Amino acid sequence: MEDILDTIEEKKPQTNYRKWAFRFFVYSIIANLVLYYKVATFVRSLHSEEDLVKYLMILSIVIYLCLILGLVFIGLMYTNKEEKNYQYKISLYGIPILIILMIFVNFV
């Protein structure tokens, strides 16, 4: 009987914060690639600058939201002490690097 009680008490609640942090990291990478593509293929004679600025503003807001939500989930996965797999490590190191790069690009 004690064995059954020990196995019941040892079960940890399954959270998937690391998966969501990893997803938001991937979403921000994809949004950055779309942003770079739009800037690289912009031709002034074919497109208006106002449309490009609007599009880039929307994309940058999406990127910032993904990074902020990724930070929230990093905090949750760190406080819940989730198991460390590739999603945990990539999101733990990748999202702060992207935030530093975004700050660097905006202020330089």
| Predicted confidence band of residue 12 (pLDDT cuts 50, 70, 90) | low
With beta carbons less than 8 A apart as the criterion, state whether 74 and 21 touch. yes
Write the pLDDT tens digit of every residue in 23-78: 999 999 999 999 999 989 888 888 788 988 999 999 999 999 999 999 999 999 98
- CA 80, CA 13: separation in Å to the nearest integer? 9
Q: Which residues contact 98 (CB under 8 A, 6 or more apart)?
A: 25, 28, 29, 32, 67
Q: What pTM, to 2 d.p., does this model score? A: 0.80
With beta carbons less than 8 A apart as the criterion, state whether 63 and 32 touch. yes
For residue 17, which amino acid is it? Y
pLDDT of residue 46: 82
- CA 38, CA 100: separation in Å to the nearest integer? 22
Q: Which residues contact 103 (CB under 8 A, 6 or more apart)?
A: none
pLDDT of residue 8: 60
